[in-house]
Amino acid sequence: MEDSTFILKIDSLSYGGRGVGRRADGKVVFVPMTIPGEKIHVRIDKEHSSYIQATLVDIINPAPSRVRPRCKIFTSCGGCSWQHISYEEQLHWKQDILVGEITKICKTIPDNIYPPVASKKIYGYRRHARIQCLYEPEFKMGFFIGGSNEVACFEECPVLNNTIQKTLTGLSSILRRYPVYNLSEINIRAPQDDVLVLARCKGRIRDRDISIMDKIYNELKISGISFIVPSPHRRDWVLGQRYCSYTLTIGDIQIQMESGFEGFIQANAYINNAMIKYIISLANGSKRLLDLYSGSGNFSLPLTIRHRQTTEIVAIDNNKRLVHQGKLNARKNKIKNTKFFCMDTAKAIQVMAAESVCFDTIVLNPPREGAKDVIDNITPLGASRIIYISCNPTTMARDITTLISHGFKFKSIRLFDMFPQTYHIESIAYLER
């Protein structure tokens, strides 16, 4: 039987965060927790027909960019993948992966590949977190282990901001003393001063659980807390505020925003503001703009205020809560020329095309799956500019290829490092007809 361990040199990093090398027979090997240039000893986990999944056994020659991870459970937690790599090297490889995916799928490169926008904070930047909860028998919390339903438990997480970490510490103390055995997950949002805690529970909420909710709210002095039982018997109990407030500061403009318990907030405030500022520059001169997958107005509302010459912005999303919040945010900032619609994006495109509704600029911010459902039908809307925001370079490159086939020129790409210490890539592509 062939030996399951061997020596390997790591040549690159893959989208997904693993080191990539080739065994002596030429077969590709993927190894987590490694860095290009390292000579390592690995053990085969699973051998497929075209590649091997392996585990790091020992580092023979470490890379100069290898650093000590700050997190005690880094090797087991599924949240971070690159804490062992210096931040400068992380940016280098994210840029390399982004350009590589574009080149491979689009078979072309844009006119301009701009340098990455680095995060101001590389730890302590996350403004929201989803924590798994269990009792074994005492209360424990953690993140899912990568690729599994098992939980890596922790006392503190270095990528969470101080407010969330402080709230989690207080929650852990209370829930150890006063267990809520139906509790399965805690969502925390702390974009600025306000803190919202959403506790998802399985099964029935008891009177005792409601008293514990009251204890959490008063002891931790948070802005709002909700205990929720999911569908089909959905019901929620709320104490305090249902929304947290925060400010988007873009140059000399400030926009007051609110987000609910199940709203969406970009994880990294500095990078989010940098992205908004960049999108505003790309949309300069727009008279009529369409914001697809708009959420609660993170991009469309700043665009409206900055581009006062824009006669109208139409924002479309299929999430009722986010669209409702977008309308409230527009009202809060006295913005009248942004219209929010709750519709399926593909259906909305078809309706507008049939009614000969046109725009000069389209902003796309689709989920990880990309915009395959709308990308073929965008051309009839007449836009001369497409601004594509993506968290997945593979699906973005696929959609850009389609846009190129419809007569658009790929003008530029820029990486914005929303998630330091992870392999995740946020980028903005710009195309012109």
In terms of Cβ atoms closer than 10 Å to its own Cβ (0-12, 13-18, 19+), residue 184 is middle
Report the distance separating Cα 55 and Cα 393, nearest Å: 26
Verify cis geometry, omega within 30 degrees of 0, for the bond prior to 302. no
Our CA dihedral for 8, 13, 17, 20, rounded to 10 degrees, sits at -30
Total residues belonging to the chain: 433
Is 426 catalytic? The answer is: yes
Residue type, 197: V
* Alpha helices, DSSP H, located in 267-319: 269-282, 300-306
Instruction: Identify which of 115, 73, 416, 82 has the alpha carbon closest to the alpha carbon of residue 267.
Output: 416
* Local structure of 172: helix, strand or coil: helix
Report the distance separating Cα 323 and Cα 297, nearest Å: 8
Two tokens, residue 284: 């300069």
Given 38, 89, 101, 426, which residue is catalytic? 426
Residues 45, 47, 50: CA angle, nearest 5 degrees: 140
Q: Note whether 329 and 263 are within 8 A (CB).
A: no
Given 47, 342, 391, 432, which residue is catalytic? 391
Report the distance separating Cα 84 and Cα 66, nearest Å: 6
Is 391 catalytic? The answer is: yes
Catalytic residues: 391, 426
